[in-house]
């Protein structure tokens, strides 16, 4: 589609798809760049599903831990939003395009979404988020190795290592929330009800 500029010349914008590749010189073959961009877009899809689930739970968490979990999940949402942006931008730095439609994310994400209209309880929310982070950590482990060893892209490997570190921290926080503590035993003694 030609656009007319203010000086009267025609300017044609290139047509793009998620797999469009610009010619660039960065030491990588086009095949390797395409493979890394596809891998990154897969990560964007996974991260976007986890990002959405994190915000959904942030809105709907309840119970005595409401305030702390509401704040924590909002912090995790912000971290995930930054990760999505960084990973998508890496696609563009490699001369590719970033996926960005909900339809594409839903078709390509390896993470499950919550089904139906029911909302999990607080324990279920934290468990689901932990499962999501650990699933992403597993794919990151493979992708870090592939980008560095198979596709000769240490820069993307380093980015994914940083992303993995952020997921390790978020998963650790969620995992610790699910652990029993001495306060549970104390509460059971005071109430006279056993803690399972």
Per residue of the chain (196 residues), give pLDDT as tens. 445 555 656 777 888 878 888 889 999 999 999 999 999 999 999 999 999 999 999 999 999 999 999 999 999 999 999 999 999 999 999 999 999 999 999 999 999 988 889 999 999 999 999 999 999 999 999 999 999 999 999 999 999 999 999 999 999 999 999 998 776 666 666 666 655 5
The radius of gyration of the chain's CA atoms, rounded to the nearest angstrom, is 21
Q: Is 146 exposed, middle or buried (0-12, 13-18, 19+ CB in 10 A)?
A: middle
In a domain, 15, yes or no: no
* In a domain? residue 5: no
Q: Supply the range of the domain harboring residue 82.
A: 25-178
Q: Measuring CA to CA, which residue among 157, 168, 50 is closest to residue 109?
A: 50
User: Is 154 contained in some domain?
Assistant: yes
Q: How many residues does the chain have?
A: 196
Task: Give the C-alpha separation, 121 to 71, whole Å.
Answer: 17
Distances (CA, A) of 135 to 95, 109, 111, 128, 180: 28, 11, 8, 10, 23
pTM above 0.75, yes or no: yes
- Rounded to whole angstroms, the Cα distance separating 16 from 42 reads 18
| Domain total of the chain | 1
- Specify the CATH number for the domain of residue 101: 1.20.1260.10
């Amino acid at each position: 589609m030609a656009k007319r500029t203010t000086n009267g010349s025609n300017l044609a914008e290139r047509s793009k798809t998620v797999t469009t590749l610009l010619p660039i010189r960065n030491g990588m073959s086009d095949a390797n760049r395409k493979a890394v961009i596809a891998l990154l877009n897969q990560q964007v899809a996974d991260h976007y599903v986890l990002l959405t689930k994190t915000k959904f739970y942030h809105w709907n968490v309840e119970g005595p831990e409401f305030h702390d979990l509401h704040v924590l999940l909002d912090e995790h949402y912000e971290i995930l939003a930054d990760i999505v942006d960084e990973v998508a931008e890496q696609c563009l730095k490699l001369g590719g395009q970033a996926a960005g439609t909900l339809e594409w994310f839903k078709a390509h994400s390896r993470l499950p979404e919550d089904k139906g209209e029911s909302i999990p309880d607080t324990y279920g929310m934290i468990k689901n988020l932990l499962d999501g982070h650990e699933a992403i950590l597993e794919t990151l482990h493979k992708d870090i190795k592939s980008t560095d060893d198979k596709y000769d892209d240490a820069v993307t490997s380093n980015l994914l290592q940083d992303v993995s570190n952020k997921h390790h921290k978020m998963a650790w926080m969620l995992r610790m929330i699910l652990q029993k503590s001495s306060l549970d035993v104390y509460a059971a003694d005071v109430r006279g009800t056993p803690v399972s």
